[in-house]
A and B are shown apart, each in its own frame.
Chain A
Amino acid sequence: MNFQEYVAKPLLSAAGITVPKSQLATTPGQAAEAAKNIGGVVIKAQVPVGKRGKAGGIQLADTPDQARIHSNNIIGMEISGLIVEKVLVEAKSDIAFEYYAAILNDPTSKSPMLMFSTEGGMDIEEITENTPEKLRKHAIDIRLGLQLADTIKLLGGLELKGANDKVANVLMKLYNAYRDNDAELLEINPLIQTTNGDIVALDCKFVMDDSAIKRHAQLSLQGTPDNLTPIEKIGEDNTIKYIELDGNVGVLANGAGLTMTTMDVIRHHGGTPANFCEIGGEAYTKGTIALKMVLEKPSVKSLVVNFCGAFARCDVMMDGLLNAWEELKPELPVFFSIAGTGDKEAIRMLKDRLGMEPFPDMDAASKAAVEAANAGVIV
Chain B
Amino acid sequence: MRILRKHHRVLIHGITGKQGTFWTERMQEYGTQVIGGVNPKKAGTTHCNVPVYASAVNAMENGKGFDSSIMFIPPLGVKDAAMDAIKAGAKNICILTEHIPVQDVMYFMAAAREHGTMITGPNTAGSVTVGECFQGFMPAFNERIFKKGTVGVMSRSGSLGTLMCQNIVSAGFGQSAFIGIGGDPIIGTTTRDALEALNTFKGTEAVVMVGEIGGNMEEDAAEYAKTMNKPTFAFIAGGAAPAGKKMGHAGAIVMGNKGTYASKKKALEGAGVTILDTPSYIGDALKEVLA
Chain A: residues with CB nearer than 8 A to chain B?
105, 107-108, 110-112, 125, 141-143, 179, 182, 184, 209-212, 214-215, 241, 243, 245, 253-261, 263-268, 273, 276, 278, 280-281, 308-312, 339-341, 343, 361-363
Residue-by-residue, is B77-104 near A (CB-CB < 8 Å gives 1, otherwise 0)?
Answer: 0000000000000000000001111110
How large, as a class, is the contact surface on chain B? 35 or more
A271, closest chain B residue (CB): B240
How far, in Å, is B153 (CB) from chain A's closest CB? 13
In the complex, are the beta carbons of A273 and B240 less than 8 A apart? yes
In the complex, are the beta carbons of B160 and A264 less than 8 A apart? no
Q: Which residues of B contact A310 (CB under 8 A)?
A: 125, 137-139, 158-159, 162
Q: Which residues of B contact A276 (CB under 8 A)?
A: 241, 247-248
Bound together, the chains give a CA A265 to CA B110 distance in angstroms of 39
B186 at the interface (CB under 8 A from A): yes
In the complex, are the beta carbons of A143 and B107 less than 8 A apart? yes
Say yes or no: A257-B183 contact (C-beta < 8 A), given A142-B110, A179-B103. Answer: yes
B63 at the interface (CB under 8 A from A): no
Bound together, the chains give a CA A68 to CA B170 distance in angstroms of 71
Q: Which residues of A contact B109 (CB under 8 A)?
A: 110-111
Bound together, the chains give a CA A281 to CA B158 distance in angstroms of 10
In the complex, are the beta carbons of B277 and A340 less than 8 A apart? no
CB under 8 Å from chain A, chain B span 179-196: 183, 185-186, 188
In the complex, are the beta carbons of A243 and B247 less than 8 A apart? yes
How far, in Å, is B145 (CB) from chain A's closest CB? 6
Say yes or no: A339-B163 contact (C-beta < 8 A), given A111-B110, A276-B241, A310-B137. Answer: yes
How far, in Å, is A367 (CB) from chain B's closest CB? 10
Q: Which residues of A contact B241 (CB under 8 A)?
A: 260, 263, 276
Dominant secondary structure of chain B at its interface with chain A = loop
Bound together, the chains give a CA A278 to CA B237 distance in angstroms of 14
Q: Can you give 15 A-B contacts (C-beta < 8 A)? A: A111-B109, A112-B106, A211-B250, A243-B245, A255-B157, A256-B249, A256-B252, A257-B157, A257-B210, A257-B237, A258-B159, A264-B278, A340-B139, A340-B145, A363-B278
A253, closest chain B residue (CB): B159
Bound together, the chains give a CA A2 to CA B138 distance in angstroms of 35
Q: Which residues of B contact A108 (CB under 8 A)?
A: 216
How far, in Å, is B99 (CB) from chain A's closest CB? 4
Q: Which residues of A contact B235 (CB under 8 A)?
A: 261
The residue that B237 contacts in the complex, of A110, A254, A261, A339, with Cβ under 8 A, is A261
CB under 8 Å from chain A, chain B span 1-31: 19
The residue that A110 contacts in the complex, of B106, B125, B279, with Cβ under 8 A, is B106
Besides A255-B157, A260-B252, 14 other CB < 8 A contacts?
A: A142-B103, A143-B111, A212-B103, A256-B212, A257-B155, A257-B156, A260-B238, A261-B235, A264-B240, A268-B277, A311-B158, A312-B159, A341-B142, A361-B170
In the complex, are the beta carbons of A257 and B242 less than 8 A apart? no
Q: Which residues of B contact A214 (CB under 8 A)?
A: 76
In the complex, are the beta carbons of A259 and B102 less than 8 A apart? no
Q: Which residues of A contact B170 (CB under 8 A)?
A: 361
B152 at the interface (CB under 8 A from A): no
Q: Which residues of B contact A105 (CB under 8 A)?
A: 102-103, 106, 185-186
